[in-house]
Amino acid sequence: MPLFDHLAELRRRVTIVVVSVICAALVVYMATPTLIQIMMEPIYEVLPNGAEDLTVLSALGGFTIRFKIALFFGAIMCTPVILWQVLGFFLPALNEKERRWVVPTIAAMVALFYLGMIFCYFVIQRTAFGWLIEQSSEFARVLLNAEDYLSIELLLEVGFGIAFQLPLIIFYLSILHVVPYRTFRGQWRYVYVGLLALCAVVTPDASPITMLLMYAVMLALYEVSLAVARRVIVLRDGKQALYWSREEYAEHELDKEAA
């Protein structure tokens, strides 16, 4: 296809995604009070007076909160549509071998993102907000700004959803030998420090508790992903492949195709 035809196709698919998310958000908007109650459920126990003192500080505050929640859940509802449009745009450009990797990869990305959100909801939210509220309650009355609390919850959910993509990144870097497996294993100290710095930057509430919890999770995910990658590399090419560079892997693939 010519360039402008590609751009027209991209515009058509982006329009479908945007319209779908907006329509879903308009439908979800009516159910936002229930969704907000579900979102607040993990932290009710750590709030000074439960949910009774939740406050909206401006005339537009209630609408802003509901629209933000509706847009968030609308995007989640439209995940199948979004993925279908992304695949529809890119798959024609890929060969058969590449297509076999695309669908499982996207499915793994979605599953890991949802797993990260679920983990954050059940494990992180209560601990993080409990620590944050405790820092203020010792010297001041905590004003429970609904917009502030819900915004932090959404950021935490998205942050942990993104953090749970780490295994997929490490897995592909390893099995494709972009970063050799021996490098990941040999430079583990630098990786651990780098992950700590990353967690310090990306945690939305800037609390050490959330940072350390995310750091512990990312370390566990890193080690699990390396273990899986090692298993795949050994089964596919043997133990010697654990020490290959990108160039050596490329030569091996050429030899296989030639054979």
pLDDT per position as a tens digit, 171-220? 988 888 888 888 998 899 999 999 998 888 877 766 788 888 889 999 99
pTM over 0.75: yes
Do 17 and 85 form a contact (C-beta atoms < 8 A)? yes
pLDDT tens-digit readout, 64-91: 999 999 999 999 999 888 888 888 887 7
Amino acid at 249: Y
Average pLDDT of the residues of the chain: 86
Q: Is the pLDDT of residue 119 over 60?
A: yes
46 vs 151: which has the higher pLDDT = 151
Query: For position 253, what pLDDT does the model report?
Result: 76
Q: Which residues touch 171 (CB under 8 Å, ≥6 apart)?
A: 225, 228, 229, 232
* Segment (H or E) for 48: strand 48-51
